[in-house]
Amino acid sequence: MTDSPRPVIRLDKVGRRFPGPPPVDALREATFSVEAREHVAIMGPSGSGKSTLLNLIGLLDTPTSGKYELDGADVAQLDEHTRTALRRDAIGFVFQDFYLMAGRSAWENVALAMVYTGVSAKQRMIRAKQALDRVGLDHRHDALPTTMSGGERQRVAIARALANQPQLLLCDEPTGNLDSATTEQVMALIADLNGEGMTVLTITHDPATAAWASRRLMISDGRIPA
């Protein structure tokens, strides 16, 4: 990775067809790029193809047409194992539903992201607590998710996304389950991370959330107009 601006994400006529029946083109010839340190929001109504796009960019799915490059690597040329490793090391996910494990403390949830990186258990704990400190939860290391507010839970999820120090933060409706005041706090935190150099791609249907991005793209019926 270099510090000079360059495309972290580059999509060239990327499409995703689900064979059905009936066959559905969830994404059609999507072409755009996201530069390093950019915060881009992709907006669109339900069923417009937002989630399909996020899954492709997050390497959870593969395009059926076109070319997708992540940090210069053509993901179509990568095998499943390499794609998984790239997802683990380069991408942090923030989901609308947080996906925290109810029976584990905040720091244990954050440490889960490092289980597959070969980091020792002790280091996982130290780094998890540092990540929680970074998102303002230094007093909630040992709290269970069930005892936390929605904003706190999303901050734990953001700390988990930061744990492996990824290059790209993918946020899928990060404020979908939050009230407006908490939305403000969470998006401010994401903006801070972007300010520190992290590339952020946020998918949302909420204009207030999208407003925090430096650039906004619209998606409709699987198409992203130029």
Give contact residues for other proteins (rule: CB under 8 A): 55, 58, 60-61, 80-81, 84-85, 87-89, 93, 95, 99, 101, 112-113, 115-117, 160, 164
Q: How far is the CA of 217 from the CAs of 5, 90, 101, 134, 201, in angstroms?
A: 19, 23, 33, 29, 11
End-to-end CA distance of the chain: 28
Residues in the chain: 226
Residue 60 or residue 191: which is nearer to other proteins going by CB? 60
The alpha carbon of residue 210 and the mean position of all alpha carbons in its chain are separated, in whole angstroms, by 14
* Closest among 47, 34, 21 to 220, alpha carbons compared: 47
Whether 52 and 66 have beta carbons less than 8 Å apart is answered as: no
